[in-house]
Amino acid sequence: MVETPKVSILLPSFNAREFLEPRVDSLLKQTLSDWEAIVLDSGSTDGTWEYFQSAAAKDSRFRLNQIPREGLYAALNRGVELATGEFVHIATCDDSMSPNFLAEMLNAFSRFPDAGIATCDVRLINRDGNDLSREDLSSHLSSRAAKNLLGLDQVRTAFGDQHLQQVNYRPVPHDSLLHFDGRSVYFSLNQLLVRTDVARATGPFQTNIGSVADFDWLLRLTSTVGTVHLPKKFAHWRFHGNQLSLKRDESRETARLAAAERTLQKIEARFPLSSIERMALLLPLKIARSHSALTRVSGWLQSFLLLGRLLVQCPVATLRALVRTKFRFGMRRHTLLPIIFLRLGLEPKNVGRLSG
């Protein structure tokens, strides 16, 4: 009888030969050896398929699949179907991980068996594998965009830094609602380990909305299960300038709002929200659809009015939340999320530091 592996690693690829050696090397160096690598190649012509054939000839844990050229998300959907492990990890071919990535993430699950997701922080690297700098980004992004990108190496929270320094558990639907400010809570799918049954229950990635498919899938995923966060950079994300999510797309914000509205309906079935809270959650995404200064000012005024209504509706809880979160207007992408989270009891729970 063949034993099933603990982790199924999905390797979607299309002409990814340039960074395959460090990617595969990072898998072979894992301190946890109980894994399978499911290669999902979409007809590469640059030597990618031949490289994987060579890897599979030396290591039987590599399972090779040639699939139609239907895009990254169709490949991931196929990979989740093929996974035989208890957990699934999406290993984008241009990224990599620390040798203890899998072991540490599985250890987090053992501490929180009810969690459906484990996530870590991410080290941002350049083409050569060195720490990413503003100089690496200067020819691709504006100074402001570069600064913002370099600040996304930590898994986000709506609360203070104390929740970013220790292992913390985020109860459902903390991370899902946190997406409602228009940004993903996680920088890359590469920094997640997900229970396979949870990934399947979430449903497939949408294949017709571009890079928003990540955002949509993560919204749905985190609306049903809690997340344990390890504040260490075990995952590595490589910048090379060709990432789909960095390309300008005028339809992106509209697609994000539609995804959020769909998910919010399901969340409200389990976690009753007032009409004020619902409006406050969706407001940042509605503002993001417009780039005009007038819309931003209007959004600020709407937030102020919604806060006033919350103070009238539940004054004591709202005042406590304002003090706890050190809330003030004028902050970039400011939302009323922390106030809503505290009322629902969704603050992350610190559970201690990593060993070693």
CATH number at residue 162: 3.90.550.10
Given a cut of 80, whether residue 67 has pLDDT beyond it is yes
Instruction: Compute the average pLDDT of residues 123-149.
Output: 90
Query: What's the confidence (pLDDT) of residue 1?
Result: 41
Based on the fold, state whether residues 284 and 242 are members of the same structural domain: no
Pick from 269, 185, 196, 263: nearest CA to 227? 185
Instruction: Give residue 160's domain range.
Output: 7-246
Length reported for the chain: 356
Query: What's the confidence (pLDDT) of residue 331?
Result: 43
Instruction: Compute the average pLDDT of residues 113-117.
Output: 94
> In a 10 Å sphere around its CB, with 0-12 CB exposed, 13-18 middle and 19+ buried, how is residue 190 labelled?
buried
In a domain, 268, yes or no: no
d(CA 163, CA 185): 14
Based on the fold, state whether residues 162 and 223 are members of the same structural domain: yes
From 151-155, 218-222, 304-308, 323-327, the region with the lowest mean pLDDT: 323-327
Give percent of the chain with pLDDT exceeding 90: 58
Span 69-91, pLDDT tens digits: 999 999 999 999 999 999 999 99
In a domain, 197, yes or no: yes
What dihedral do alpha carbons 205, 32, 110, 342 form, nearest 10°?
-50
Find residue 35's DSSP bridge partners: 7
In a domain, 253, yes or no: no
What dihedral do alpha carbons 206, 210, 219, 323 form, nearest 10°?
-170
Query: What's the confidence (pLDDT) of residue 330?
Result: 47
Neighbour count for residue 272 (Cβ, 10 Å): 9
Based on the fold, state whether residues 208 and 315 are members of the same structural domain: no
Neighbour count for residue 291 (Cβ, 10 Å): 10
Given a cut of 60, whether residue 332 has pLDDT beyond it is no
**Higher pLDDT pick, 7 / 321:** 7
Query: What's the confidence (pLDDT) of residue 191?
Result: 97
Query: What's the confidence (pLDDT) of residue 141?
Result: 84
pLDDT band at residue 251 under the 50/70/90 scheme: confident
Query: What's the confidence (pLDDT) of residue 166?
Result: 87
Q: How many domains does the chain have?
A: 2
Based on the fold, state whether residues 192 and 292 are members of the same structural domain: no
Query: What's the confidence (pLDDT) of residue 121?
Result: 96
Do the Cβ atoms of 178 and 156 come closer than 8 Å? yes
pLDDT band at residue 26 under the 50/70/90 scheme: very high
Based on the fold, state whether residues 222 and 294 are members of the same structural domain: no
Most confident by average pLDDT, 122-126, 265-269, 317-321: 122-126
Based on the fold, state whether residues 237 and 340 are members of the same structural domain: no
pLDDT band at residue 305 under the 50/70/90 scheme: confident
In a domain, 259, yes or no: no
In a domain, 92, yes or no: yes
Instruction: Compute the average pLDDT of residues 141-150.
Output: 86
Based on the fold, state whether residues 159 and 291 are members of the same structural domain: no
Query: What's the confidence (pLDDT) of residue 39?
Result: 98
Based on the fold, state whether residues 208 and 296 are members of the same structural domain: no
Given a cut of 90, whether residue 247 has pLDDT beyond it is no
Based on the fold, state whether residues 195 and 289 are members of the same structural domain: no
Based on the fold, state whether residues 74 and 120 are members of the same structural domain: yes
- Per the prediction, the chain carries an average pLDDT of 87
In a domain, 263, yes or no: no
Q: Please list, in sequence order, all residues whose beta carbon lies within 8 angstroms of the beta carbon of residue 4, skipping any fewer than 6 positions away.
A: 84, 85, 86
**Higher pLDDT pick, 48 / 162:** 48
Based on the fold, state whether residues 280 and 191 are members of the same structural domain: no
E strand intervals along the chain: 7-13, 35-41, 62-66, 87-90, 96-97, 117-125, 167-170, 192-195, 227-238, 349-352
3-state secondary structure of 282: helix
Span 174-229, pLDDT tens digits: 999 999 887 778 999 999 999 999 999 999 999 999 889 999 999 999 999 999 99
Instruction: Compute the average pLDDT of residues 43-71.
Output: 97
From 174-183, 227-236, 242-251, the region with the lowest mean pLDDT: 242-251
In a domain, 354, yes or no: no
d(CA 152, CA 130): 17
The DSSP code sequence of 157-182 is: -SS-GGGGSSEEEE-TTHHHHHGGGS
In a domain, 11, yes or no: yes
d(CA 99, CA 16): 21
d(CA 198, CA 176): 15
Given a cut of 50, whether residue 170 has pLDDT beyond it is yes
Based on the fold, state whether residues 120 and 229 are members of the same structural domain: yes
